[in-house]
Structure 1
Amino acid sequence: MTTLPSTAEHPGTDPAADPDPTPLLRIDGLAKQYRADGPFVSRDLSFEVRSGEFVAIVGPSGCGKSTLLRMICGLLDPTEGTVLLDGTAVTGPPPEMALVFQDYTRSLFPWLTVAGNVGFPLKRRSDLSAADKEARIAEAITAVGLAGFEAYHPYQLSGGMQQRVAIARALAFRPRILLLDEPFASVDALTKENLEDLLLTIQQRYADEGITMLLVTHDIDEAVYLADRVEVLGPPPCRVVEELPIDLPRPRHQIRTRGEQAFLEARALIHERVGLNKQRADS
């Protein structure tokens, strides 16, 4: 197997060569301990995300990926370290971030229609007129391919369609950073592929607005297919053990991209790192 370059060696990741080296998001020395006398879930966890990037986070089961995402968006306070958004510490849920959960059945309001669910977070946006809100709702629903289903309720939709509603709700708020916590873990393989391609379409559609995506997933193939860069976490207390740029051209294709040598090499390297970390955790 050809060894892929580290971030430091990868062309285009040198801060001196980057026209805007300031990260949008900086995770600096994060540690989480749920009880004062308990074990650390994470320790000295650090990485950066630049505006417009698609970054995936993978690691062994139970390593604290979802805990990390909740600290990033201010739903959990870290025991140590900081999360900086544009240089300002995150101390609560910032309006610039939106989180899409894995369990879409619990994140949607069953008594609201598709349009009602998508527009719910806009209710308190006093800076938007009623017409602006309606326009955002319509645009987000169209962006996820659900035009024509505005009056449907969640129980009338498939699982994949319900997750599209959850994504549309996040998009309607126009976040700078879209956080995704294993969003496709509960759908079938074909629906999963369709939703993966939906994310890539959304990234391209909102490229001018610089939408940034941070995906937590246990699926290594998914991480390599979607991301510009993959952060590989070790076992608890987790930290970044590999930062791997994904050198694959865009647009990407479910069959062609997954057959490319660069895809196979990145996939193998991440499997190796996660496997080694699992062995260390079990020993």
Structure 2
Amino acid sequence: MTGTAFIAPDGGVRVEHVSKSFGPPDARVTVLDDVSLTIGMGEFVSVIGPSGCGKSTLLKVVAGLIEADSGTVTIGGEPVAAAARDKAIGLVPQAPALLPWRTVLDNVRLPLQVNRRANAGRALRDPSELLTSFGLGHAMRKYPGQLSGGMQQRAAIARAFVFDPAIMLMDEPFSALDEMNRDQQRLGLLDFWQSNRKAVMFVTHSVPEAIMLSDRIVVMSAHPGRIATVIDVDLPRPRAEADYATDAFRDLEAVVRGELHRVMEAAHA
């Protein structure tokens, strides 16, 4: 089940030999070491690994939020800065970051109202339709404080889709939710993605979440952060809650947990 290298077409994400370290010159800590990764258009790739392995740092490099020390990242064949300028990147952080004084609908509208001139001619999604797609049609006029944590996160995901980006980057968007609510939200995301196939890089600590959502799972090792292995998720699509109980799902879960156990043992050796 361990996958071979996937060659992304020009429309996908290509990370080549990226390294990143932090700290003063005499005490630099390498967080990412020679990381190469590709995500094809329409492909859902999860990144999983022990705490401190550089998952979120890698996502931030791909998003253009921090600059790599070496290596390159291209999106659709363009540098990250150009892709960000073209609004080709959608980002969903761990916290929803909704403005409490704006309604849910106005929060999702916000990216369209900032720099209207730059938005001219772009392909834009209707905020009301997006919220309805995420099951929030009834909550559009409410304020974030009136919503549950899961509903707030769905609103944040809807906001990230408003520019109809080619690439979606998600940094543990459901990590603050309880397991029951988390499962509900991941299934809602899965339903939406299965009808709007974007390229997705999804950072998570949850093995079942990674399996349910992904086409491939990238397992990272820590100290420094490297790609240990890539596991193909060969479960048929579309997927639904019943897939959790299948033998194929349990077998794959054992494989992923085994790889995580291996990299964690190596980190403490």
TM-score scaled by length of structure 1: 0.87
C-alpha contact 2:4 2:230 (8 A) present in aligned 1: no
Show the 5 A alignment for 1:154-173: 154-173=144-163
| Residue from 98, 105, 108 that aligns with 1:118 | 108
Whether the aligned pair in 2 keeps the contact of 1:73 and 1:93 (CA below 8 Å) is: no
Change (3 A) 1:126 1:91: closer
Counterpart secondary structure, 1:148:
helix
- Checking the alignment, whether the CA contact within 8 Å between 1:23 and 1:48 is kept in structure 2 is no
Give the equivalent residue in structure 2 for 1:100: 92
Question: Is 1:74–1:92's contact at 8 Å kept on the other side of the alignment?
Answer: no
Render the CA deviation track for 1:186-226: whole Å, top value 9, x for unaligned.
Answer: 0111211111111111112223xxx2111000101110111
**What are structure 1's unaligned runs of at least 5 residues?**
none
**Aligned: 1:262 with 2:258:** no
In the alignment, which residue of structure 2 is the partner of 1:7? 3
Q: Which amino acid aligns with 1:78?
A: A
- Structure 1 residue aligned with 2:48, among 50, 54, 58? 58
Instruction: Please report the TM-score for the alignment, with normalisation by the length of structure 2.
Output: 0.91
Q: Counterparts of 1:186 and 1:148 in 2: how far apart (Å)?
A: 23
Q: 2: distance between equivalents of 1:223 and 1:40?
A: 26
Question: Alignment partner of 1:126: what SS?
Answer: helix
State the distance in 1 between where 2:223 and 2:81 align.
24
Report SS of the residue matched to 1:151: coil
Is the 8 Å Cα contact of residues 63 and 233 (structure 1) preserved in structure 2? Answer: yes
State the match for 1:204 in structure 2: 194
DSSP-derived class of the 2:32 partner: strand
Deviation per CA, 1:222-274: give whole Å up to 9, x if none: 101110111110112111111111000112122x2122233222211211111
Equivalent of 1:229 in 196, 201, 216: 216
CA positional deviation for 1:23: 5.8
- Partner amino acid for 1:228? D
Contact 2:48 2:219 in 1 (8 A): yes
Unaligned runs of 5+ in 2: none
Identify which of 177, 182, 185 aligns with 1:187. Answer: 177
1:139 aligns with 2:135: no
Q: CA deviation at 1:34?
A: 1.5
- Per-residue deviation at 1:163? 0.5
Distance 1:176 1:22, change over 3 A: closer
Percent identical pairs in the alignment equals: 36
Q: CA deviation at 1:93?
A: 6.8
Q: Does 1:84 align with 2:77?
A: no
Aligned partner of 2:201 among 193, 214, 231: 214
CA contact (8 A) 1:101 1:181 kept: yes
Over the aligned positions, Cα root-mean-square deviation in angstroms equals 2.0
Give the count of matched residue pairs.
262
